[in-house]
Amino acid sequence: MRLLNIFAALSGVLALGMLVLAAHALQPTPEDLERIKLAAYLQLGAAGAGLAIANRSGRLNLIAGAMILLGAAIFAGTLYTLAVTHSRSFVMLAPVGGITLILGWVALAFTKPGA
């Protein structure tokens, strides 16, 4: 679960970093700023969940946490890329990230509390 803890913390760092960049360096359009905010808030939520799950044991908890963090990273990464580069090359990955994130939360629903 140590890796889950590390990746959750790094996810939080990236999300906060993008919010700081958007506020101070990027000067995004209002539409791009909304994309960055959505991505960062989603990624921060996933980071918090990942940190909480990292303190649990069991294979299903590990799988759920990994799916939540991976799905959030893919979805948020797609939005960050679109907002910063205006390239639509990776937009087709957003649904993959979203579905992975949702399935991670579903998997978490089937874990043992306190396990």
Per-residue pLDDT tens digits for 23-59? 999 899 999 999 999 999 999 999 999 999 999 999 9
Report the domain count for the chain.
Answer: 1
Q: What are the pLDDT digits (tens) for 63-114?
A: 999 999 999 999 999 999 999 999 999 999 999 999 999 999 999 999 987 6
Domain range spanning residue 66?
2-109
d(CA 48, CA 57): 17
Q: 102 is written with which tokens? A: 């949702």
Residue 115: is its pLDDT beyond 90? no
**Is 101 among the domain residues?**
yes
Closest alpha carbon to 101 in 30, 52, 45: 45
Q: Across residues 8-37, what is the average pLDDT?
A: 95
**Is 115 among the domain residues?**
no
pLDDT score for 107? 96
**Is 46 among the domain residues?**
yes
